[in-house]
Amino acid sequence: MRLLVLGGTRFLGRMVAAQAAARGHAVTCATRGLSGSPPPGTRFVAVDRDRPDGLAALTGETFDAAVDVSRDPAQVRRALAALDGRIGHWTFVSTTSVYADMETPGQRAATAPLLAPAEDGSYGAAKVACERAFGGSALIVRAGLIVGPGDPTGRFGYWVARLARGGMVLAPAAPEDPVQFIDGRDLAGWIVRAAERGLAGPFDAVAPACTRRAFLARCADALGSSCHPVWVDRAFLDRHGVGRESGPYALPLPLPDTIGDASRDVSATLAAGLTPRPLEETARDTLRWMEESGGPVTGLTRGEEAALLAAWRAEQE
């Protein structure tokens, strides 16, 4: 295929471009050139999707398929207009944040209600507006938390780094709550294979859910570590000002802490070819990548976690 990646210089887009090139496709990455470099073996074209004529460098080119990672409906509409009739198959990388109901467990992409689209609204509402612009012939990939080597957020990396140290581990919420995520390498590979066969429609792109207890235990086992989770409730963490996402003084959950967004029924996606690797492999590879690269540092420091564990014990006595 001649594949255009609108993006391709950061985490997921770059892996899509790299895996497509490895499968023998002729890959073009089109970005401003600010966020990073495209992978070896791909071609780079400078574009600026915020400018009315920003895709002019692609004029006259045709592609068998294109993958777009934008989160801006105006950028999407501009690309669809500028490339009209010159793209065989579109993939849009969306998010499970498009869903209106974050509480009901086991929802499916085909039937779950969406947020109202909004140009300048929340991330999820803007992604809904992007999806609408693509229409029904595109593959809409609603990714959940994307993890693994190269993940710049550290939301998963925090846990493997912490579990590798062993001991008493401060763990948020209830052990039977679900977690759900996808290794970026598996997601990228599926996007390329799905484009090859022209798959269309909305799919939730995460692995099947597991419990938080199993998540921590399986990662610790994979890392050869001995850990004892100490489950603390959200109210305690909120009282102590502990953040929920990546960044300092945060306890990044492996997933959004909403049951509906962490327990999606992905049987249709698995049937359509998404093949998640074992969690153990993702945990080991992520730790190795963090050690080699100096990885993203996020979440609680050792001292902060120890102080919170002491405060939790004091409250329980």
Ligand X SMILES: NC(=O)c1ccc[n+]([C@@H]2O[C@H](COP(=O)([O-])OP(=O)(O)OC[C@H]3O[C@@H](n4cnc5c(N)ncnc54)[C@H](OP(=O)(O)O)[C@@H]3O)[C@@H](O)[C@H]2O)c1
| Residue 225 binding ligand X, by CB under 6 A | no
Nearer to ligand X, 232 or 253 (CB): 253
**Residue 194 dihedral angles phi and psi, to the nearest 5°:** -65, -35
The distance of closest approach from Cβ of residue 218 to ligand X in the complex, given in angstroms and rounded to an integer, is 20
In DSSP terms, 43 is beta-bridged to: 28
Backbone angles phi, psi at 157, to 5 degrees: -60, -35
Which CB, 140 or 143, lies closer to ligand X? 143
| 253 near ligand X, rule: CB under 6 A | no
| The two three-digit tokens of residue 245, written as one number | 């996402």
Look-up: residue for tokens 């004091």? Answer: 314
**Considering only 31-39, 80-88, 248-256, 263-271, which stretch makes contact with ligand X by CB under 6 A?**
31-39
Which of 37, 50, 267, 313 is the binder for ligand X (CB under 6 A)? 50
Query: Which residues have CB under 8 Å from 60's CB, separation 6+?
Result: none
- Distance in Å, CB of 6 to ligand X, minimum: 7
Least Cβ distance, residue 5 to ligand X (angstroms)? 8
DSSP bridge pairs for 91: 67, 139
Residue 250 in 3-state DSSP? strand
Site residues for ligand X, 52-91, by CB under 6 A, read 69, 71
Please give the Cα distance from 147 to 185 (Å, whole number): 9
Does the protein bind ligand X through residue 176 (CB under 6 A)? no
Q: How many residues bind ligand X (CB under 6 A)?
A: 23
For 18-50, letters b (16+ CB in 10 Å) and e give bbbbeeebebbbbbeeeeeebbeebebbebbbe
Rounded CA separation 312/304 (Å): 12
Q: Kindly identify the residues of this chain, within the stretch 101-160, that bind ligand X according to CB under 6 A.
A: 143, 145-146
Detail the DSSP E strand segments found in the chain.
2-6, 26-31, 43-46, 65-68, 90-95, 139-143, 145-147, 167-172, 178-179, 181-183, 201-205, 210-211, 227-232
Question: Among 24, 34, 85, 235, which residue interacts with ligand X (rule: CB under 6 A)?
Answer: 34
Nearer to ligand X by C-beta: 10 or 193? 10
Q: Which is nearer to ligand X, 35 or 104 (CB)?
A: 35
Q: Which helix (H) or strand (E) element contains residue 19?
A: helix 11-22
- State yes or no: residue 245 binds ligand X (CB under 6 A): no
Residue 31 near ligand X by CB under 6 A: yes
Residue nearest to ligand X (CB): 13
Residue closer to ligand X (CB basis): 44 or 249: 44
Please identify which residue in 1, 44, 48, 243 interacts with ligand X, judged by CB under 6 A.
48
Query: Alpha-carbon distance 187 to 117, whole Å?
Result: 25
**Under rule CB under 6 A, which residues in 260-279 are in contact with ligand X?**
none
Provide the Cα torsion 55, 58, 63, 66; round to 10°: -30
x/- track of binding to ligand X for residues 3-22 (CB under 6 A): ----xxxxxxx---------
3-state secondary structure of 202: strand
Q: Is 33 in the site for ligand X (CB under 6 A)?
A: yes
- Indicate whether 47 belongs to the interface with ligand X (CB under 6 A): yes
- At closest approach, how far in Å is the CB of 41 from ligand X? 17
Q: How far is the CB of 271 from ligand X (least distance, A)?
A: 21
Binding site for ligand X (CB under 6 A): 7-13, 31-35, 47-50, 69, 71, 93, 95, 143, 145-146
